[in-house]
Amino acid sequence: MLAFPSTYSVGITSLGYQVVWATLAQRSDVDVRRLFTDQADPPHRRLDLFGLSLSWELDGPVLLDLLEQQRIPIWASERGDSDPIVFGGGPVLTANPEPLAPFFDVVLLGDGELLLPAFIDALQAGRDAPRPERLRQLAQVPGVYVPSLYAPRYSPEGDLLAVEPTAAGIPATVAKQTWRGNTLSHSAVITPAAAWPSIHMVEVARSCPELCRFCLASYLTLPFRTPSLDDGLIPAVEKGLAATQRLGLLGASVTQHPQFADLLAWLDQDRFEGTRVSVSSVRAATVTPELGRILAKRGSKSLTIAIESGSERMRQVVNKKLATEEIYAAARYAKEGGLTGLKLYGMVGLPTEEEADVEATAALLLALKKATPGLRLSLGVSTFVPKAHTPFQWQGVRPEAEKRLKLLAKRLKPKGIELRPESYGWSVIQALLSRSDRRLAPVIAAARGRHDSLGGWKQAYRAAVEASRSAHEAPPAWEKVIHSTWSTERVLPWQHLEGPLPASTLAKHQGEALNGA
């Protein structure tokens, strides 16, 4: 059973979920069924394997509801030989699986193209062995993390000292696996019931070469990889356009594909008349009049760029290689090409940010509106949340971010610029989940049924604190996890899990960012 912690329309729009499902469905030795919060395929008589794809921290408690629905014990320690192996993957679990680790038998760290075949082969090879032996065998597969075979060690004060194997022969660290093939992913399912109806999604690039210091999508998925045009992209696009006339080009840095201009020219052919093409966020410096023209011709209304901040100083701090003039040029080219809207993404609460930097963001949006009259502008803005395996993993959430979101609203809304802020309160909960260790698991379990409200999370946290009997059992301190800036010498909850870059390199990148400030 392959589950997604949301409705069918949302889950089936996830390209990662589709790829995992298709990879498993193509195997003759696997009978895979799908499970969503609102519907499911017909169940098996016997369930041997239960998987979950997790791409958003706040969806964690839904896993427990789905497990209970299938009559599977939610705690891995309570499962026996007759229970399925519960595994998970996706960016949240690859970055820091520890808060959810006690619920999983296995976590797959990295790209499914490599991990899934090796994982299933190892499962099949040991399927007749007792559960503990099967888990020990799985732990030998590169990128397969078995949380029950590792134990955290704490100081008397409750500080994490290490996460170590509990038995001989278990690897001391587990390394994320990286797919380096010439092809990336594309839709396996095209349906009008998806959140993006009847769209064929094609992954144009994986990772991003820009290395913004906060960015999980860049650092966790290194190196930057692109499929070739003739052998990868065009066949994938052709396959989808045989079934639909809606195409989505996905990636953290789509327009930095070395042959993107050639792909655009190919899509400009008359035979694609009536095809609607949309692209995910593009780098502002790569926007050209030709990009705007072809996207408008192919049905797109707007373009999306990430600026992070209107302050050049802040963009230098986060390593955003973007000049203010390039932002103006992107807006101008979008309008000249026939697009009617420009969506910008930014952040507040970044390390070293001052109120003047936020005022600079507001001033930039107002100046853009004046410079490109008739172009509809919107700003999506979030609070900085530290993510594992990035240079800013040691930085905390800044409480003043809440006030700065309100400042942007005060400056922009009266001037007719749409502001789409993410909730500061939910950013705090997201940080709690992204930075904690496995002592947070009881909080996640207690949050079930009330995880849709901030008050529900806080009540669950207080209940877990009251139920704990020692510093080893108590949830990690709320303030220290969410808001504190950590020393680079601190033992991190995910320190035994190797990302693409070592902590020493990440610390160096953080130092370059903060010293430059």
51, 3 contact by CB (below 8 A): yes
Distance between CA atoms of residues 287 and 331, nearest Å = 9
Structural domains in the chain, CATH included, are: 2-175 (no CATH), 200-425 (3.20.20.70)
Q: Which residues contact 23 (CB under 8 A, 6 or more apart)?
A: 112, 113, 116, 117
Residue 376, C-beta contacts closer than 8 angstroms, at least 6 positions apart? 302, 340, 341, 342, 418
Residue 199 neighbours by CB under 8 Å, 6+ apart: 13, 187, 190, 244, 246, 247, 248, 278
How many residues can be counted in the chain? Answer: 517
Single-letter code of the amino acid located at 343: K
Tens of pLDDT along the chain (517 residues) come to 999 999 999 999 999 999 999 999 999 999 999 999 999 999 999 999 999 999 889 999 999 999 999 999 999 999 999 999 999 999 999 999 999 999 999 999 999 999 999 999 999 999 999 999 999 999 999 999 999 999 999 999 899 999 999 999 999 999 999 998 878 999 999 999 999 999 999 999 999 999 999 999 999 999 999 999 999 999 999 999 999 999 999 999 899 999 999 999 999 999 999 999 999 989 999 999 999 999 999 999 999 999 999 999 999 999 999 999 999 999 999 999 999 999 999 999 999 999 999 999 999 999 999 999 999 999 999 999 999 999 999 999 999 999 999 999 999 999 999 999 999 999 999 999 999 999 999 999 999 988 889 999 999 999 999 999 887 889 999 999 999 999 999 999 999 999 999 999 999 999 999 997 6
Which of 7, 146, 173, 29 lies closest to 77, judged by CA? 146
Q: What pLDDT shows up at residue 152?
A: 97
CA distance 105 to 81: 12
CA distance 238 to 230: 11
408 in Cβ contact with 348 (< 8 Å): yes
Distance, CA of 70 to CA of 197 (rounded, Å): 29
| Cβ atoms of residues 34 and 63 within 8 Å | no
Nearest alpha-carbon partner for 159 in 505, 511, 501, 484: 484
3-state helix, strand, coil in the chain (%, to 5): 45, 15, 40
Burial of 198 (0-12, 13-18, 19+ CB in 10 A): middle
Kindly report the pTM of this predicted structure.
Answer: 0.96
Return the pLDDT at 517.
61
Q: What SS3 state is found at 284?
A: helix
